[in-house]
Amino acid sequence: MECPHLSSSVCIAPDSAKFPNGSPSSWCCSVCRSNKSPWVCLTCSSVHCGRYVNGHAKKHYEDAQIPLTNHKKSEKQEKAQHTVCMDCSSYSTYCYRCDDFVVNDTKLGLVQKVREHLQNLENSAFTADRHRKRKLLENSSLNSKLLKVNGSTTAICATGLRNLGNTCFMNAILQSLSNIEQFCCYFKELPAVELRNGKTAGRRTYHTRSQGDNNVSLVEEFRKTLCALWQGSQTAFSPESLFYVVWKIMPNFRGYQQQDAHEFMRYLLDHLHLELQGGFNGISRSSILQENSTLSASNKCCINGASTVVTAIFGGILQNEVNCLICGTESRKFDPFLDLSLDIPSQFRNKRSKNQENGPVCSLRDCLRSFTDLEELDETELYMCHKCKKKQKSTKKFWIQKLPKVLCLHLKRFHWTAYLRNKVDTYVEFPLRGLDMKCYLLEPENSGPENCLYDLAAVVVHHGSGVGSGHYTAYATHEGRWFHFNDSTVTLTDEDTVVKAKAYILFYVERQAKAGSDKL
C-alpha cells in the first residue's frame, strides 16, 4: 500500500552508525535479546523482535504514542512517531498506523537506501570468520540430523516452515500436502512463472494486501513452496510470499490471529482449483493436465466447472438420499466433495485418551458409520416434498458413489455453544494402513477390493482448547519413515507416536498394489 506516514517516520540516515554490529538477520532485540525476526525502527534505528516472537517492535511503536494521547497532536509532535519499521531478514517495510506492508518510498528514497545498506551489511558479514562459523554450524546441524536405518547412516532431508505469526495452521496443511506424492509432484513439475517484467524485473516483490490481483499467483507460490521442501536444507523455509498471496486472495486469513486449519485447506484447494481452471500464466489448463498422464479422464471429478489436478486427486462423489416419511417419495442428489467432515458420536465425547477407562474407544469406523447411517431430520430441517407440495418429516442417508484417490477426513472437533466454540477433545482411533471403505460405497460390487483400501499419508493435529488458540502440527510419512512437523522443527518419529495423536484432519491415499489385509 501507499503509506502516508513515511516522511514523518523515516528519520535515520541510510548508513547510520547506530545500527548494531553483525548481519542484520541475526541482530538481537534490545529488550529480550532474541535474534528471531528482528525489525529495525526507521525513526531511531532501535532493533526489536517481531509480533510472533515477543512483540517488542509493536510495543516500541505503542510506547512512542503514549505522550501524544494526553494532549492535542501538533504538526511537530507527529514528526517522529516510530510507526515504520523494516524486517531485517526480508527487508520488507511495515507501518503500524496503516497496519500493512509498505511499497512506496520517501521523496529522497530513504527506505530503499536503508534496504540497500542492510543488504550490504548482510553481505559483508560473510567474512572468513563468519563463513567458518556457519560451516561449523551446518556440520553440527547435519550431524544432529543423522540416523541409522538398516545399519547405514541417513540424513533427514525434510525442511521445516517458519512461523510468520500464528501461521502454524498453514504450515501443518502445507507439510501434509507436500507428502501426498502425486499431488505434490504435479505442482513441482509445472514450469516456473516470471510474474515481474519491465522495470521491476529481477527485483524482489513485496506483496501487500492492497496490491492488485493481477500480479499474484497462488499456483506459482504454492509450487515454489513445495519445491523448497524435501531438498535437504538445514534451515527452515519462510513461506512469506505464499502467505502474502493468501492475504491478497483470501481476506478471511489476513492478519496474524490463529485460524482453522481445515477452513484454510478448503480455501487453498478451492482457489488452486479455480486458478488452474482459468489457465496458468498463459498455459491452458487442459495442456497442463495432459502433462500428467496418470490423471486419466475416468478419475476426474468436476467441481465448479472443468476438472483440475485438485478434483482429480481429492474429488469424490456422494449420493444424498432423502425419503419423505408421509408419502414415501425418494429424492436422490449427487454431490461432489473434496473432503468429508465427520461428527464424533456424542457417546464418545468424554473419552479423552486411548487408555482411559469408562467404555469403548471411539474409532474412525464409528465416525464414518455416524456419517452414513440413516438419519431422521429434525423440525428445523423439514424436507420440501414435491409430491406432498409442502415441508414434511423425512430421513436422510449418504452413500459414497465414487471414492477419491486421496481421501481427506475432517473430524469435527469444534462446536458452537450459546457463547463460544468448544473443542471436542475425544481420542479417535484410526488405522495407519488398510482403511477399508467398501462398506460405505453405493455400488461396492463395481469396485475391486484393492480400490477400497487406503493407507495413511498425513495427520494434522490441533493442540489446545479452542479454534482461535492453541497450535497445529502435522505427522506425515515419507519414503517409509514418519516425521513430525512442528513449524521450523522437523523430527523423526515412529508409528506408535502417530497412532496416539488426537487427529483433526486425516489424509488417506488409495492403495495401488495388493498388500496385507490390515483392515479397519
User: Residue 132: its pLDDT value, please?
Assistant: 55
Give CA–CA dist 50/37, Å, rounded. 5
Q: What is the phi/psi pair of residue 220, to 5°?
A: -65, -45
pLDDT reading at 435 higher than 70: yes
What three-state secondary structure class fits 277?
helix
pLDDT of residue 115: 83
Going from the C-alpha of 119 to that of each of 86, 131, 433, 505, 512, the distances in angstroms are 12, 17, 50, 41, 50
Q: Which residue has the higher pLDDT, 119 or 148?
A: 119
Decide if pLDDT at 270 tops 90: yes
**Average pLDDT, stretch 441-464?**
81
CB 396 within 8 A of CB 375: yes
pLDDT (0 to 100) of residue 502: 93
Q: How confident is the model at residue 15 (pLDDT cuts 50, 70, 90)?
A: low
Higher pLDDT, 305 or 474: 474
Question: What is the reported pLDDT for 356?
Answer: 56
8 Å CB contact between 207 and 247: yes
Any alpha helices (H) in 402-514, and if so which ranges? Answer: 495-499
Max mean pLDDT range (391-400, 413-422, 444-453, 460-469): 391-400
Q: Is 61 in contact with 96 (CB distance < 8 Å)?
A: yes
Secondary element (H or E) of residue 412: strand 406-412
Are 264 and 175 in contact by the 8 Å Cβ rule? The answer is: no
Cα separation, 381 vs 325, in Å, equals 13
Whether the per-residue pLDDT at 417 is higher than 70: the answer is no
Q: What is the pLDDT of residue 150?
A: 42
For residue 302, give the DSSP letter: -
**Which residue bears the cell 477390493?**
449
Query: Contact at 8 Å (CB) between 177 and 184?
Result: yes
> Which pLDDT tens digit goes with each residue over 26-45?
888 989 888 878 899 988 88
Burial of 130 (0-12, 13-18, 19+ CB in 10 A): middle
Dist. CA 389–CA 379, nearest whole Å: 17
Q: What is the DSSP string of 371-406?
A: HHS-EE--GGG-EEETTTTEEE-EEEEEEEEE--SE
**Spatial contact of 95 and 84, defined as CB atoms under 8 Å apart:** yes
List pLDDT tens digits, range 77-130.
444 578 999 888 777 888 888 888 787 888 888 888 888 888 788 777 655 444
Identify the pLDDT of residue 518: 52
CA distance 72 to 147: 65
Cα-based angle 229, 233, 239 (whole degrees, multiple of 5): 45
Per DSSP (E only), the strands in 103-189 are: 146-149, 152-155
Whether the predicted pLDDT of 367 surpasses 90 = yes
Please give the positions annotated as active site: 168, 471
Asked whether residue 340 carries a pLDDT value surpassing 70, the answer given is: yes
3-class DSSP assignment, residue 280: strand
% of the chain exceeding 90 in pLDDT: 28
* Greater pLDDT, 494 or 197: 494
Span 456-475, mean pLDDT? Answer: 88
pLDDT higher for 26 or 152?
Answer: 26
Angle (CA) 169 173 176, round 5°: 145
Q: Is-contact 104 6, C-beta < 8 A? A: yes
At 303 the pLDDT is 59
Q: Among 77-91, 99-113, 382-396, 484-498, where is mean pLDDT lowest?
A: 77-91
At 251 the pLDDT is: 85
Q: Which domains are seen in the chain, by residue range?
A: 4-65+79-125 (3.30.40.10)
Nearest to 167 by CA among 243, 85, 87, 91: 243
Average pLDDT over residues 476-485: 93
Residue with cell 468448544: 422
Q: Are 97 and 7 in contact (CB under 8 A)?
A: no
Contact 408, 505 (CB under 8 A): yes
Q: How confident is the model at residue 71 (pLDDT cuts 50, 70, 90)?
A: very low
Interatomic CA distance for residues 115 and 128, integer angstroms: 24
pLDDT of 460 strictly over 70: yes
Burial class, 192, CB count within 10 angstroms (exposed 0-12 / middle 13-18 / buried 19+) = exposed
pLDDT number for residue 295: 46
Q: What is the distance of C-alpha 401 from the center of its chain?
A: 29
Statement: residue 309 has pLDDT above 60? yes
Residue, of 496 and 384, whose pLDDT is higher:
496
Average pLDDT rounded to a whole number, residues 66-79? 49
As a dihedral over the C-alpha atoms of residue 245, residue 247, residue 251, residue 253, rounded to 10 degrees, the angle is 120
Evaluate whether 485 touches 471 at the Cβ level (below 8 Å): no
Distance CA 51, CA 33 (A): 14
In the predicted model, is pLDDT for residue 284 greater than 70?
Answer: no
Read off the DSSP letter of residue 49.
E
Q: Which residue has the higher pLDDT, 519 or 192?
A: 192
Q: Can you tell me the distance from the alpha carbon of 75 to that of 63, in angstroms, rounded to the nearest whole number? A: 19
pLDDT at 213: 46
pLDDT over threshold 90, residue 482: yes
Q: What is the mean pLDDT of the chain?
A: 78
Q: At residue 157, does pLDDT exceed 80? A: no
pLDDT of residue 352: 59
- Average pLDDT rounded to a whole number, residues 187-200: 62
